[in-house]
């Protein structure tokens, strides 16, 4: 029996070392398999046969103790472990090749079967689904449009694992247009546009026409504008249509401050500004200053303003921006060709009283004669303190522009479009008369885009309202105190308080040089024998956040597993939009996962259930786009283990032959 036992023991060694060789062979075979995780074999001894049990010491009889006498019955397989260590990453340059660093598995689904993998060799199929080479569809969360805000960008809600679905990107998909909400200004206003230079060059506003003749042809007409500059601003409406606005800045150097004490004039650093629409673009109109409407998304009450003053510090940095109510001639009042400043209290004005409102396509309901009053209605970044009121005896307190909070964000340019359908939340538009002098007419924009005007059933038009903020740059902080304008404490222009008393506003710190500045000065030159001042203007709109419809051109995946689309349009604009986010799973015991082929795993009773969330959360690793995770097989270790397994197999084989020889000898004893 002993000889038979040794034979069976050796056979168990042969069998299990063969399993070890099989495992090593599989590891080596998959040394270049994407996302492959190597395995290792662990042995354990089998049940031992006890020939004599152990005995303890017997001091009474003078006998010592002895250990048990046992013989082993062979070797058994303890485990074949999956080694879930990180494989090296290989860059491929293909955007949809994905790798994981750290813990985590991509989630893929084939029919009703969900598996998990580290092999991120993904592509898009004919239906736009992100799939692996076996046709299993990658799982994640798709971006969804907010139904309540159809003009907003789609967003991804990855908070609920139950909402995981197939990730897909449709070829040729488009990104909806975005209306402009802010324009950013920068560049230089000519620091040499002083009163002296304006007068010496060509008089106020510095415009002159010089005819320079030569012998080779007709005279050449050159126009130089010293104290005034116009810069175009391109904006987009909600349908992606492009519109051109223009901002006119005029230097007010040396002119009397309206409402101020005699002789108190604007300094060389004060400019008026006004925004207007293109007269040839009849689809859009500019809302009157001091007209308000309620934003349907934020519920903020927005006060329109498209004109005012801008002042610079002596070092050229931006000081303050004043918003005024001076553009009534834009729409609803005045006549075609009326001057930009049609008021005796405004520099360059004619002193002609405003004409009665002229109805234009129903706009009469949004404008009246009281809206145009040249009052100051706000400062960029300012909050008017409670004591900033005009309160003479018997007159109720009046705040500038009926608004304590004079924040720039509440004083945008407001554009109104006719003939534009709107399916968003209804807008409420209300003209606010200055200083509460009369009641405004509220107009309701219903879901069909129709103005429902009380008492005027025939005045219905399709309208859409758009507000655009101006980013001038960082201005001086404005707080409670006395406002110092033109180098002397005085009144703000037409601020509707008691003339002669200081207004309670103070610039308490300097602005920064991150927007519009007044730095470089122009040069004097001789043109046709005349001394002409040639100004230096580089002011321009540097950016705006609107765009027309764009088409998907490519996709990429970031470290959080967000599938991001790059969209371009015919104008060369490039925008990015989050399309989906990949689901990443981790397990309490990833070594307990079962291999099911194609570098995929399924959970087992000992791995725990998949816990699905996003990359870089809950201990999950990062996603690397444009790379693949290589096999984690260590070839040098595998070859070493192969030698060990081979020697183990050979020795056990020798034991079999030896046991066979001994058994043969034992059999021959009976001859």
**Token representation of residue 615:** 């990359």
* Averaged pLDDT score across all residues of the chain: 76
8 Å CB contact between 538 and 187: yes
Report the alpha-carbon angle 617-623-626, nearest 5: 170
State yes or no: pLDDT of 241 exceeds 80: yes
Q: Is residue 49 part of a domain?
A: yes
214 occurs within a structural domain: yes
Q: What is the mean pLDDT of residues 263-282?
A: 84
Quick one: 159 and 125 in the same domain? yes
Dist CA 195 CA 371 (whole Å): 32
Closest CA to 535 of 270, 199, 190, 230: 190
For residue 84, pLDDT beyond 90: yes
- Give dist(CA 321, CA 273) in Å, integer: 10
Buried b (16+ CB within 10 A) or exposed e, 395-434: eeebbbbbbeebebebbbbbbbbbebebebbebbbbbbbb
- Residue 497: is its pLDDT beyond 50? no
162 and 21, same structural domain?
no
Residue 41 has pLDDT above 80, yes or no: yes
CA 606/CA 642 separation, integer angstroms: 29
pLDDT tens digits for range 89-130: 999 999 999 999 999 999 999 999 999 999 999 999 999 999
User: What is the domain count for the chain?
Assistant: 3
Task: Taking residues 41-53, report their average pLDDT.
Answer: 87
Element holding 484 (H helix, E strand): strand 484-485
Q: Which of 592, 584, 560 is nearest to 84 (CA)?
A: 592
Q: How far is CA 63 from CA 52, 53, 67, 69, in A?
A: 16, 16, 13, 18
Looking at residue 215, its pLDDT comes to 58
Q: Are residues 596 and 484 both part of a single domain?
A: no
Domain hosting residue 56, numbered range: 2-84+633-668
Instruction: Give the list of residues 6+ apart from residue 289 with CB closer than 8 angstroms, or none.
Output: 304, 305, 306, 307, 323, 324, 325, 326, 327, 328, 371, 372, 377
The pLDDT, as a whole number, for residue 608 is 94
Whether 431 maps to a domain, the answer reads: no
Question: Of 544, 579, 604, which one is at a domain's C-terminal end?
Answer: 544
What proportion of the chain, given as a percentage, has pLDDT over 70? Answer: 69
The domain boundary residue, chosen from 510, 528, 544: 544
Whole-number Å distance between alpha carbons of 347 and 266: 10
Q: How confident is the model at residue 478 (pLDDT cuts 50, 70, 90)?
A: low
Instruction: Tell me the pLDDT tens digit for each residue of 653-668.
Output: 888 888 878 888 877 8
Cβ distance 532 to 526 under 8 Å? Answer: yes
Strands 516-517 and 182-188: parallel
pTM of the model: 0.70
Cβ neighbours of 266 (radius 10 Å): 25
* Residue 381 pLDDT: 57
Per the model's pLDDT, the better-predicted residue between 479 and 516 turns out to be 516
202 and 230 together in one domain: yes
Based on the domain organization, do 159 and 236 belong to the same domain? no
3-state secondary structure of 20: helix
Q: Is the pLDDT of residue 550 over 60?
A: yes
> Which of 1-10, 25-34, 213-222, 538-547 bottoms out in mean pLDDT, i.e. has the lowest?
213-222
Residues 6 or more apart whose CB falls under 8 angstroms from that of 53 comprise: 68
Kindly report the backbone phi and psi dihedral angles of residue 330, in degrees, each rounded to the nearest multiple of 5, phi listed first. Answer: -65, -40
* Residue 459 confidence (pLDDT) above 60: no
- Taking residue 48's Cβ as centre, other Cβ atoms within 10 Å add up to 12
Does 371 lie in the same domain as 238? yes
Q: Are 355 and 470 contained in the same domain?
A: yes
In a domain, 262, yes or no: yes
Could you tell me if 568 and 547 are in contact, meaning their C-beta atoms sit under 8 angstroms apart? no
Residue 530 has pLDDT above 80, yes or no: no
State mean pLDDT over 627-637. 96
CA-to-CA distance for 140 and 119, rounded, in angstroms? Answer: 16
C-beta of residue 531 within 8 angstroms of C-beta of residue 224 = no
Instruction: Quote the CA–CA distance of 175 and 61 in Å, as a whole number.
Output: 97
Whether the Cβ atoms of residue 375 and residue 401 lie closer than 8 Å to each other: yes
The answer to whether residue 454 sits within a structural domain is no
**Bridge pairing between strands 463-471 and 478-479:** unpaired
Range of 48-52, 179-183, 255-259, 331-335 with top mean pLDDT: 179-183
Which of 521, 544, 567 is the endpoint of a domain? 544
Q: Can you read off the two tokens belonging to residue 195?
A: 């009163």
DSSP β-bridge partners for residue 265: 256
Residue 208 forms part of a structural domain: yes
Evaluate whether 345 touches 376 at the Cβ level (below 8 Å): no
- pLDDT tens sequence across 144-158: 988 777 667 789 999
93 and 168 share one domain: yes
Helices (H) and strands (E) in the chain, counts: 3, 50
Residue 199 falls inside a structural domain: yes
Q: Which of 7-16, 28-37, 61-70, 405-414 has the weakest average pLDDT?
A: 405-414
Residues 97 and 165 occupy one common structural domain: yes
**Looking at the structure, do residues 102 and 121 belong to the same domain, yes or no?**
yes
**pLDDT top residue among 333 and 320:** 320
Together in a domain, 50 and 120: no
- Is residue 452 domain-resident? no
* Sequence-separated (6 or more) residues with CB below 8 Å from residue 108: 114, 115, 116, 117, 132, 136, 137, 138, 139, 600
pLDDT of residue 425 exceeding 90: no
Answer yes or no: do 362 and 508 share one domain. Answer: yes
């Amino acid at each position: 029996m002993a000889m038979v036992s040794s034979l069976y023991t050796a056979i168990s060694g042969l069998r299990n070392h063969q399993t070890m060789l099989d495992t090593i062979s599989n590891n080596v075979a998959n040394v270049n398999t994407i996302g492959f995780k190597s395995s290792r074999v662990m042995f354990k001894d089998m049940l031992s046969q006890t020939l004599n049990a152990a005995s303890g010491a017997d001091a009474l009889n003078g006998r010592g103790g002895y250990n048990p006498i046992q013989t082993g019955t062979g070797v058994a397989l303890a485990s074949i472990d999956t080694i879930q260590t990180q494989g090296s990453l290989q860059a491929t340059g293909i955007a949809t090749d994905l790798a994981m660093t750290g813990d985590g598995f991509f989630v893929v689904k084939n029919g009703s079967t969900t598996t998990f993998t580290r092999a991120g060799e993904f592509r898009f199929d004919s239906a736009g689904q992100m799939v692996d080479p076996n046709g299993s569809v990658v799982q994640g969360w798709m971006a969804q449009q907010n139904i309540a805000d159809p003009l907003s960008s789609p967003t991804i809600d990855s908070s609920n694992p139950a909402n995981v679905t197939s990730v897909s990107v449709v070829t040729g998909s488009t990104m909806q247009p975005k209306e402009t909400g802010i324009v950013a200004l920068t560049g230089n206003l000519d620091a040499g546009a002083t009163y002296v230079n304006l007068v010496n060059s060509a008089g106020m506003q510095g415009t002159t026409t010089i005819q320079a003749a030569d012998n080779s042809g007709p005279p050449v007409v050159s126009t130089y504008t010293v104290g005034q500059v116009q810069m175009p601003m391109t904006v987009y409406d909600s349908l992606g249509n492009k519109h051109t606005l223009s901002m006119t800045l005029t230097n007010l150097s040396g002119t009397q401050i309206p409402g101020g004490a005699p002789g108190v004039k604007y300094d060389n650093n004060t400019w008026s500004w006004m925004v207007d629409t293109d007269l040839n673009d009849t689809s859009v109109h500019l809302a009157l200053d001091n007209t308000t409407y309620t934003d349907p998304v934020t519920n903020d009450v927005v006060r329109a303003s498209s004109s005012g003053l801008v002042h610079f510090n002596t070092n050229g940095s931006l000081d303050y921006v004043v918003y005024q109510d001076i553009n009534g001639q834009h729409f609803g009042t005045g006549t075609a060709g009326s001057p930009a400043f049609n008021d005796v209290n405004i520099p360059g004005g004619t002193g002609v009283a405003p004409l009665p409102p002229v109805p234009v396509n129903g706009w009469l309901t949004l404008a009246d004669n009281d809206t145009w009053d040249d009052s100051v209605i706000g400062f960029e970044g300012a909050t008017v303190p409670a004591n900033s009121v005009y309160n003479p005896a018997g007159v109720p307190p009046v705040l500038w522009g009926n608004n304590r909070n004079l924040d720039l964000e509440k004083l945008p340019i407001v554009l109104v479009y006719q003939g534009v359908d709107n399916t968003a939340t209804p807008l409420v538009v209300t003209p606010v008369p200055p200083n509460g002098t009369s009641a405004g007419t509220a107009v309701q924009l219903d879901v069909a885009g129709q103005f429902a005007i009380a008492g005027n059933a025939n005045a219905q038009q399709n309208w859409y309202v758009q507000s655009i903020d101006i980013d001038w740059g960082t201005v001086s902080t404005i707080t409670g105190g006395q406002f110092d304008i033109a180098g002397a404490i005085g009144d703000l222009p037409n601020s509707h308080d008691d003339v002669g008393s200081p207004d309670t506003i103070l610039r308490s710190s300097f602005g920064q040089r991150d927007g519009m500045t007044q730095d470089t000065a122009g040069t004097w030159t001789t043109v046709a024998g005349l001394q002409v001042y040639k100004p230096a203007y580089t002011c321009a709109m540097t950016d705006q956040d609107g765009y027309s419809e764009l088409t998907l051109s490519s996709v990429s995946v970031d470290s959080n597993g967000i599938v991001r689309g790059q969209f371009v349009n015919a104008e060369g604009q490039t925008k990015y939009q989050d399309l989906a986010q990949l689901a990443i799973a981790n397990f309490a015991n990833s070594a307990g996962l079962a291999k099911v082929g194609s570098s995929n795993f399924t959970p087992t009773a000992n791995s725990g259930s998949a816990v699905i969330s996003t990359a870089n959360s809950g201990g999950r690793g990062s996603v690397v786009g444009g790379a693949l995770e290589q096999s984690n097989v260590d070839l040098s270790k595998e070859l070493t283990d192969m030698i060990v397994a081979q020697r183990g197999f050979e020795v056990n084989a020798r034991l079999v032959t030896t046991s066979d020889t001994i058994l043969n000898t034992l059999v021959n004893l009976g001859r």
